[in-house]
Amino acid sequence: MNIALIAHDEKKEELLKFVNEYKGEFAKHQLFATGTTGLRVTELTGLSIHRFKSGPLGGDQEIGARIANQELDAVFFFRDPLTAQPHEPDVSALVRLGDVYNIPMATNIGSANILIKGIIRGDMQNA
Residues with a catalytic annotation lie at 60
Identify the three-state secondary structure at position 119: helix
Residue 8 annotated as part of some ligand binding site? yes
Report the 10 Å Cβ neighbour count for 83.
10
Residue 37 annotated as part of some ligand binding site? yes
Q: Please report which helix (H) or strand (E) contains residue 39, including its range.
A: helix 35-45
Residue 83 annotated as part of some ligand binding site? no
Residue 35 annotated as part of some ligand binding site? yes
Residue 12 annotated as part of some ligand binding site? yes
> Which residue ranges are tagged as binding site?
8, 12, 34-37, 54-55, 87
> Which residue ranges are tagged as binding site for substrate?
8, 12, 34-37, 54-55, 87
